[in-house]
Structure 1
């Protein structure tokens, strides 16, 4: 059975007049974090109704998240724990600037400290911070404070990579400065790092700022790193019913199982929270082989010659019909992405979604050596620069407003790595490619793939 391990955070005091934050912080403080026994949990699952009546939806909530990844260059003054030595209380001070609070803390892994926030999640590794915040949070103004803590507490004073992205907001006029528009966000980042700094990618519904101030030679060695993000909207109401806190609620571990979240990457240790009256967040830590795919490295690990470090995933659900939104993010190896995305789609059943992948060239090389990687992996060569893949898929409702059906036997076939290929390499069962976009040569350090899919008319 999937483990469920997290701790409640204590009271960190008043955070101002923001009623949304106070309401979520109160739930974080009082929610029951204790998982029942396996037998009790499975009994609750079998007794739960298949399709409970959906409670009245609360007011609009902006589920669209701001994603910020900060990675620092290594330093002789940074010890083995690095940023992981910073306590939750210290991070809480910074998060007050963001306008959110820590709700749950995952059991420590060998690589990450993971926190469920009142507005999404944060993961902290030795030299890296990954934070996603939804609602009307002010994420970018806290960036200088994150950098100050890294410098003063850990001796990490030089950025290696910085990545900021988000989907378009449903109600941008309700966002605080500097998040009212992507141009405003870019101006703020360039006020910190230089007027011409960073690479900007802005599609109709997806926006990216990427800063790589240190070359591969300066950073020491090529690292295998990748991030997969799936952003889903217009979700199946029946699937979303499961993310309301009703009288039938047992505990968060039961929610992980009944919703199917626990099955996306089997063997994951999950720390989750079902909010009141609705909404759901989950952080998972898992071994590199947990997605049910085996390769030659898996065999080597079992023979004791290789041990992969753990990876993470994070999920956030806004289930209200008028603003439904789900995000899924993981740094799982590239050759597992197709299977993971297919499982995510079967759980949440969106009518529209996008997939984006950032990967270093070293990660692409690892895919080309994996027997489960597609032939496109061999087309990727070059330095340890970042590559970007972005696919947007429109899963239009069929006749009689029926939701698309993702059968257990179906698999989503998207390219594992970005590469120059014809459109026929982008396959989604039952869907036609509407558009394919390739970046031009002006994005020297990046490659972008963009495609749209739709159900063909009957």
Structure 2
């Protein structure tokens, strides 16, 4: 049997819900945030992970999981998990819980990179084909506008997998550019491998350090420079024993998240955050520079999803990403673009250090 380590590459699921009367039908605008902790635990039990830390504000709730993160907004849920979790098994309970509070699933997006240890993944994550079939069989019939695609790169071992589905309402909204809370926003997912070994050692805990996961996490946030990536964010962090790190950042209605698997041979780190095409792009560039400097990866994959009418600005967003990381020694090796119903424009880029 082939040796394998911990699978760092996350599976990411984003679900959007709607209702006939969102305010009245969702408990004065709380929507999915009405779900009690027992319901959250039931969803995570199906996925095979648990909550290790949590924080929230007036906009959304944030959970650090034993395998990555969960974000709950009134009408949107984002859940990403690593390892051998069965993320797609969260769909059925989430749809059921949504229906109990008068909400209907209206859009779904699933993304992931190429697994480091694909042979270790359980069903339905045994292949992208199996994942797509599972999605098609478990999402409601009203999500009939669907697309699945494997976005390639010039590095054969790395592809970006995307499945998107939505109902007719989302299709009309995209065509008409109707105003929406997510309009003109982009999500950047960064996956990094071959981390600098000296920097990766900072994500190992000292033996018998006398700290719990929360206090050890705060220490890692400080000594690695992660706390400086977005100084405005409220950070909820956690350090695993003997190694590994996760954090969620909350900045008003926007989130960011970092997850690290630092072991030699299969080191991995991810960074995800949300922005607007109207943000100061110099600030976005600075964030990406800081992240690269924290990890100094030998390989970096960046997926940028620009939603709504903001998709018209996709060239500006992804070209600025390339320019942002060039000063810290990374060079763009390939760039692929595709369009997905409701999800918007997805741009997949690969980077390696200039010396390679």
TM band (smaller chain): 0.7 to 0.9
Q: 1:244 aligns with which of 199, 204, 216?
A: 204
| Equivalenced residues, count | 325
Query: What's the TM-score, normalizing by structure 2?
Result: 0.82
Partner of 1:269: 234
Q: 1:119 to 1:426 in 2, by over 3 A?
A: closer
Q: 1:358 aligns with which of 300, 305, 323?
A: 305
User: After the TM superposition, which residues 39-438 of structure 1 pair with which residues of structure 2 at under 5 Å, given as runs?
Assistant: 60-76=5-21, 77-79=25-27, 80-106=29-55, 108-152=56-100, 154-159=101-106, 161-193=107-139, 197-202=145-150, 203=152, 204-213=158-167, 214-215=169-170, 217=172, 221-223=179-181, 224=183, 225-246=185-206, 247-248=208-209, 251=215, 252-287=217-252, 310-334=253-277, 335=281, 336-363=283-310, 380=312, 416-417=316-317, 428-429=326-327, 430=329, 432-438=331-337
Give me the whole-angstrom Cα distance separating, in 1, the residues matched to 2:331 and 2:274: 28
Give me the whole-angstrom Cα distance separating, in 2, the residues matched to 1:124 and 1:111: 9
Give me the whole-angstrom Cα distance separating, in 2, the residues matched to 1:280 and 1:457: 29
Give me the whole-angstrom Cα distance separating, in 1, the residues matched to 2:61 and 2:52: 14
Give me the whole-angstrom Cα distance separating, in 2, the residues matched to 1:121 and 1:360: 22
Give me the whole-angstrom Cα distance separating, in 2, the residues matched to 1:116 and 1:180: 25
Shift of 1:443: 8.4
Conserved 8 A contact 2:17-2:75: yes
Conserved 8 A contact 1:190-1:197: no
Shift of 1:363: 4.0
Give me the whole-angstrom Cα distance separating, in 1, the residues matched to 2:186 and 2:337: 20
Give me the whole-angstrom Cα distance separating, in 2, the residues matched to 1:63 and 1:176: 15
Partner of 2:155: none
Task: Please state whether the residue corresponding to 1:67 is helix, strand or coil.
Answer: strand
Shift of 1:228: 1.2
Question: After TM superposition, which residue ranges in structure 1, 4 or more long, deviate above 6 angstroms?
Answer: 424-427, 441-445
Query: What's the TM-score, normalizing by structure 1?
Result: 0.64
Shift of 1:362: 4.0
Task: Please state whether the residue corresponding to 2:298 is helix, strand or coil.
Answer: strand
Give me the whole-angstrom Cα distance separating, in 2, the residues matched to 1:454 and 1:313: 23
CA deviation string 1:7-53 (max 9, x = no partner): xxxxxxxxxxxxxxxxxxxxxxxxxxxxxxxxxxxxxxxxxxxxxxx
Give me the whole-angstrom Cα distance separating, in 1, the residues matched to 2:73 and 2:342: 29
Shift of 1:216: 5.6
Task: Please state whether the residue corresponding to 2:237 is helix, strand or coil.
Answer: strand
Give me the whole-angstrom Cα distance separating, in 2, the residues matched to 1:88 and 1:141: 18
Which structure carries more relative contact order (alpha carbon 8 Å, separation 6+)?
A: 2
Conserved 8 A contact 2:298-2:353: no
Give me the whole-angstrom Cα distance separating, in 2, the residues matched to 1:455 and 1:245: 28
Give me the whole-angstrom Cα distance separating, in 1, the residues matched to 2:340 and 2:90: 31
Residue ranges of structure 1 left out of the alignment (5+ in a row): 1-58, 288-309, 365-379, 382-386, 388-414
Shift of 1:453: 4.3
CA deviation string 1:395-427 (max 9, x = no partner): xxxxxxxxxxxxxxxxxxxx64258x9xx9797
Give me the whole-angstrom Cα distance separating, in 2, the residues matched to 1:455 and 1:312: 28
CA deviation string 1:313-346 (max 9, x = no partner): 1111000011111111111334343222111101
Shift of 1:199: 1.5
Conserved 8 A contact 1:230-1:341: no
